[in-house]
């Protein structure tokens, strides 16, 4: 189910650090991009460049503000190579530079991670969500869980309707709404596409479940998503495949409703 809250530009970060989140192991001396090598190419496509960037971020997170010389010594890399990566990280907003003056002489530059870099480090949001839902179930039973997901569905529906009102005209077609919903779901991590079959049937396809651990233990999550799609599309929506049920994707067949109110009532009764 969609979360419409703003998020860090994960696509940019994934491109910058293609090997995934930073790990907890202490960094060993790392290889670096050759001096003079294009910074953007090294960071976005070169494994050696991205490895050095990852280790720089790890070191800064653990040690705090650090000079390029200290980083180079700790990581077994050249000062030139470290500076190349720091400048690239700074341009992405992942590190910041502070100038420190000590009497006469040249000032020192210290680097540290920014708040934007937080998503590059390990997190446990799945565990938090699952723990909160377990606590809610312990307090109020399955009925309270259903109420929580229903409230979440209503908030998501309001946000999606606002988005559609900004992007689409009031007389938009059903497929235009389906296509915009696919964009929204894709932005939330569902790898979502909209398509029209040869017979004219519209389908929404999600190749990833962005809340899989939560959905696997709570049927209410998937019921709420189905109701959400029916409501914001104002259409008959039938789930044809289901990731939680072992299928490759979640796919939905979408057709114009004969009676929208009856469609919504029937969907909630089936849930």
Mean pLDDT of 106-120: 91
Most confident of 39-48, 120-129, 209-218, 256-265: 209-218
Q: How much is the pLDDT for 267?
A: 56
The CATH label, of 1.20.1560.10, 3.40.50.360, 1.10.10.10, 3.40.50.20, for the domain at 10-120 is 1.10.10.10
Q: Where are the domains of the chain?
A: 10-120, 125-270
Res 47: pLDDT:
28
Model confidence at 271: pLDDT above 70: no
Confidence of residue 173 (pLDDT cuts 50, 70, 90): very high
The predicted-structure confidence for 138-166, as pLDDT tens digits, reads as follows 999 999 999 999 999 999 999 999 999 99
**Does domain 125-270 match CATH 3.30.1380?**
yes
Structure tokens at 173: 């077609």
Question: Is 10-120's fold the same as 125-270's?
Answer: no
Lowest mean pLDDT among 45-49, 247-251, 253-257: 45-49
Q: Is the pLDDT of residue 60 over 50?
A: yes
């Amino acid at each position: 189910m969609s979360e419409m809250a703003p998020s860090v530009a994960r696509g940019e970060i994934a491109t910058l650090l293609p090997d995934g989140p930073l790990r907890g192991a202490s960094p060993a001396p790392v290889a670096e991009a050759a001096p003079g090598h294009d910074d953007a190419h090294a960071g976005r496509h070169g494994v050696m460049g991205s490895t050095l960037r990852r280790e720089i971020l790890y070191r800064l997170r653990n040690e705090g503000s650090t000079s390029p010389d200290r980083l180079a010594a700790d990581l077994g890399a050249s000062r030139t190579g470290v500076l190349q990566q720091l400048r690239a990280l700074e341009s992405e907003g992942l590190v910041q530079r502070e100038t420190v003056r000590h009497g006469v002489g040249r000032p020192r530059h210290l680097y540290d991670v920014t708040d934007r870099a937080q998503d590059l480090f390990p997190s446990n949001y799945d565990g938090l969500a699952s723990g909160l839902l377990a606590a809610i179930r312990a307090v109020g039973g399955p009925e309270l869980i259903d109420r929580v997901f229903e409230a979440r569905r209503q908030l998501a529906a309001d946000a999606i309707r606002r988005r559609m009102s900004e992007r689409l005209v009031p007389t938009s077609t059903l497929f235009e709404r389906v296509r915009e919903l696919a964009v929204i779901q894709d932005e939330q991590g569902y790898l979502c596409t909209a398509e029209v079959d040869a017979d004219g049937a519209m389908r929404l396809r999600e190749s990833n479940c962005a809340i899989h651990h939560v959905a696997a233990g709570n049927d209410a999550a998937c019921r709420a998503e189905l109701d959400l799609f029916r409501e914001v599309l104002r259409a008959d929506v039938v789930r044809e495949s289901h990731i939680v049920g072992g299928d490759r994707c979640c796919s939905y067949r979408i057709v114009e409703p004969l009676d929208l109110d009856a469609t919504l009532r029937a969907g909630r009764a089936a849930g």
